[in-house]
Copies of this chain bind each other. A is one copy, B any other.
Amino acid sequence: MSDSARFALHRPEFLGALVRGEAKIAALVKESSITVPARATLVEANTDHRFVYRLLKGWAGRTRLLRDGRNQFILIFLPGDLFAVKSMFITHQTDAVVAITDLITERIDYRKLHKAYVADSDIAMRCIWQVVEEERRLHSWVVGLGQGSAEERVALLLMDFRGRLILSKTIAPDSLTYNMPLTQVQLADHLGITGVHVSRVLKDFRDSGMVTVRDGRVTIANLDMLAQRASALLDAYERVTRAYVGEQEAASSAHD
């Protein structure tokens, strides 16, 4: 995956700034890494928070716990993601960020990053990119939750994870398997359905020879079929850059 694929959608005149910003931020946060155990809360809801993070290893999620016990994973963060960038601008994050697995993450005091953000437009651009990209994911997820059936949502999510892992070079572009550490209940809290129903949908997917999710690992037996199941919910961008990344690449770029 080239940088231009990773930063697709962005105005091409900013590509250089994005790539430089990425490197500069990496340099800024170097050696600041901390480890966090699974289940721990990285950013507490409704508190002033001082750090911006760059996830190196492990998965995390932005989550909102309602007073009656309902819980929603709003967004899932994968290695390479910058998160809590908004700490630079707002005092109170209304949602928590929790570690889904044990994780390693670098972090930086928001004031330090903000100083760099003001001084260096490459860094600013990379930060803004993250916010804009996060918003794009939220748009897609609103569409998924609002219009998708449980099966469509699950298929979309499995495709999305794969696409993002490929773009961040965590897995190979043609890989049909990846680690996915969410429990079924955590998946359910992201999908807006119950854990029991997640189990049923996954059984169905497994029995139909489409994809197997077991022991923290996703194994796609029929990528076309999975993409098909998700396709109604995929936006045009995702259809091109994500759905068929890998073995379908030749075919897909052939129609362009």
Contacts and interface: CB of A to CB of B under 8 A. Distances in A.
Interface of A: 9-12, 14, 45-46, 62, 64, 66-68, 70-72, 74-75, 86, 88-92, 94-95, 118, 121, 125, 128-129, 131-132, 134-136, 138-143, 145-147, 189-192, 232-233, 235-237
A239 to B, nearest CB: 10
B232 A135 contact: no
Given A118-B121, A139-B95, A66 B147 contact: yes
Contact of A139 (B11, B94, B129, B146): B94
B90 A46 contact: no
A19 to B, nearest CB: 15
A209 to B, nearest CB: 24
Given A121-B118, A232-B66, A235-B95, A90 B145 contact: no
Most chain B beta-carbon contacts within 10 A, residue among A67, A118, A129, A235? A235
Contacts of A141: 142
A234 B67 CA distance: 10
Given A64-B143, A142-B145, A89 B235 contact: no
A74 B235 CA distance: 13
A29 to B, nearest CB: 20
B237 A92 contact: yes
A157 B100 CA distance: 31
Given A45-B236, A70-B147, A233-B66, A91 B132 contact: no
Contacts of A64: 139, 143, 235
Contacts of A71: 147
Nearest to A95: B139
9 contacts: A9-B90, A11-B90, A12-B91, A45-B236, A66-B147, A89-B128, A90-B132, A94-B236, A141-B142
Nearest to A136: B94
A191 B9 CA distance: 28
A64 B12 CA distance: 25
Contacts of A86: 132, 135
Nearest to A139: B74
Contacts of A89: 10-11, 14, 125, 128-129, 132
Contacts of A14: 89
9 closest A-B pairs (Cβ-Cβ)? A146-B192, A145-B145, A138-B138, A94-B235, A72-B146, A70-B147, A72-B143, A9-B90, A46-B236
